[in-house]
Amino acid sequence: MNRWITAIHEAGHAVAAFVLNRTRVVMTLHEDGGAAWPLQDMPPTDRAIMTAAGPLAEALAARHAPPEVPLTVAAASLSTPPSLPTIESLGTSETAAELKSDLARSPSDRVAIARWCIEGIEDQPERWAQRHAWLQTMAARLVRDHEQQIVEAARVLYLRGVVSVPLFEWSAS
Q: From residue 48, how far is each of 55, 118, 138 by CA, in Å?
A: 12, 12, 10
pLDDT tens digits along 93-140: 787 778 778 778 889 999 999 999 999 999 999 999 999 999 999 999
pLDDT tens digits along 5-18: 999 999 999 999 99
Helix then strand count (H, E) for the chain reads 8, 3
Q: Which domains does the chain have, with CATH numbers?
A: 3-165 (1.20.58)
pTM score of the predicted model: 0.87
Q: How far apart are CA 112 and CA 117, in angstroms?
A: 9
Report yes or no: 39 and 25 within 8 Å, Cβ to Cβ: yes
For the residues 23-44, what does the mean pLDDT come to?
Answer: 92
Query: What integer pLDDT is reported at residue 172 of this predicted model?
Result: 45
- 72 falls in which pLDDT band (50, 70, 90)? low
